[in-house]
Amino acid sequence: MCKMISFLMFSAAALFAQTHTTTGSRATQSALTVTPPPVVSSSDPLHDLFPSSYPLMQPITALPINTHTMTPNNGQPTVNGNFKAMFGPARLKIDASMPTTLSNSLTNPTILKRVKLTEFAGESDASTGTVLPIGGCKIEGGTDNHCLVFDQGTGMLHEFANVSVDANGNYTASQYTRWLGPKKTTARKNSWTSADAAGLPMLPLLLRYAEASTGTIDHALRITFNLTRANANNGYYVAPASHAAGNNWSTAVVMGARLRLRADFDVSGFSPTNRAILNALKTYGAVVADNGQTGFITADNDPRWNFDDLQKLIAVRMDDFDIVDTGTPVDSEGKKAY
């Protein structure tokens, strides 16, 4: 998450701590004194969290390749050419370490724990603080340590970032975003972040085993890049992203950029699960959601993933993708990138 390199961790009677280690794209986690969340049923309550009209649920097969010239000070010929030149050697990889938590506050109410918001309180959905909506939350390890909670009782999606807990059990978070539910929120205010750097939802864009195993994924997938385009106003983003976290003036990749796997990329030699992932990347693409390791698609930490099989996706190179034209990137002041 933009400028958010801190830790999301909830504990106390209603919360828990966990450790996390990663080897390649495989992650292991252990939870302490926590009741496991409900098992996702065959009906998959996390499917279709957002309406099909939301841009990241829309196919991009018919969109043209982005050929706009990037003018600010780097002299690169085109967005697409710059992208291929800089990231072509990179490989597609899956980071299957993002946990999610299901709850139901209507049937299983719990004591709520107040969380104080800090750095991005003014860009949160509760500027003076909020409460953890359930009694426990599985926490992502690594740097950002996100917490993603879907409340089946209210239809509300709660996403937190940059939380820490002090010795007295007081919790702070840099950002809190509430999606769906009665508010039916599907966009942030311009220049506002979310729990993700691009101001996008996280859970609806995760690669999830429950979907991939069916052979069909019908939404864009969250992807990270080491470098995203910077300027004097923190960089550029393209809708439906609402926030930038630029860290390099010469790269072409912006927050919210949509990448599409080439239609002629041969998927026949891959497993059914991997074919589902690759076909989704052809149809819905990947969306740049945060700074991170280049070419990493974020997946849930479902224990049913076959990591040896997922590793075979490293055969896909970043220059097997095109950046498609989804609009003109702007910065926080509305200045256009080209």
Domain check: are 69 and 107 in the same one?
Answer: no
In a domain, 171, yes or no: yes
Between 223 and 167, residue with greater pLDDT: 223
Residue 128 corresponds to which tokens in the numbers above? 């003076």
Residue 235 within any structural domain of the chain: yes
Dihedral sign computed on CA atoms, order 160, 162, 165, 171? negative
Looking at 183, 212, 239, which one is the last position of a domain? 183
What tokens does 202 get?
A: 């996280």
Place of tokens 């991005």: 120
Please, are residues 133 and 112 in contact by the beta-carbon 8 Å criterion? yes
Decide if 167 is inside a domain.
yes
Tell me: do 222 and 273 sit in the same domain: yes
- Asked if residue 20 lies in contact with residue 27, where contact means CB atoms within 8 angstroms, the answer is yes
Residues 135 and 252 in one domain: no
Helical segments of the chain, H only: 79-87, 209-212, 272-283, 307-310
Show the beta-strand stretches assigned E in the chain: 18-23, 26-31, 93-98, 101-103, 114-117, 130-131, 147-151, 156-165, 171-180, 221-225, 258-261, 286-291, 296-300, 321-324
Domain count, the chain: 2
User: Residues 171-178: what's their mean pLDDT?
Assistant: 82
> Do 132 and 88 share a structural domain?
no
Q: Are residues 231 and 122 in the same domain?
A: no
| 14 band by pLDDT with thresholds 50, 70 and 90 | very low
Residue 303 lies in a domain: yes
Same domain, 173 and 291: no
* 241 and 318 co-located in one domain: yes
C-alpha–C-alpha distance, residues 29 and 252, integer Å: 35
Of 152, 183, 214, the last residue of a domain is 183
What is the DSSP code string of 97-136? EE--EEE-TTTS-----EEEE-TTGGGSSSTT-EE-SSS-
pLDDT in the model for residue 214: 95
Q: Among 45-59, 139-153, 282-296, 316-330, which is the least confidently predicted range?
A: 139-153
Q: Tell whether 146 and 213 lie within a shared domain.
A: no
Residue 99 CB contacts under 8 Å (≥ 6 apart), including other chains: 29, 138, 139, 140, 148, 300, 301
**Residue range 87-97, pLDDT digits in tens:** 878 999 999 99
Whether residue 43 lies inside any domain: the answer is no
Domain around 90: 55-97+203-324
290 in any annotated domain? yes
Q: Residue 309: which residues within 8 A CB-CB, separation 6 or more?
A: 271, 273, 274
Same domain for 127 and 257, yes or no, is no
Strands of the sheet containing 258-261, edge to edge, are 18-23, 26-31, 93-98, 296-300, 221-225, 286-291, 258-261, 321-324
At 183 the three-state DSSP class reads helix
Query: Tell me, what's the pLDDT at 132?
Result: 57
Query: 133 and 170, same structural domain?
Result: yes
Is 144 found in the same domain as 26? yes
Mean pLDDT over 17-23 rounds to 32
Residue 60 in any domain: the answer is yes
Residue among 86, 83, 80, 87 nearest 65 (CA): 80
Tens-digit pLDDT profile for residues 97-114? 999 988 887 887 665 567
Q: Is residue 9 part of a domain?
A: no
Model pLDDT, residue 110: 61
The model's pTM is 0.82
Whose structure tokens read 């239809």?
155
Helix (H, G, I), strand (E, B) or coil at 281: helix
pLDDT, one tens digit per residue, over 177-232 is: 988 876 566 678 889 999 999 999 999 999 999 999 999 999 999 999 999 999 99
The answer on 207 and 78 residing in a single domain is: yes
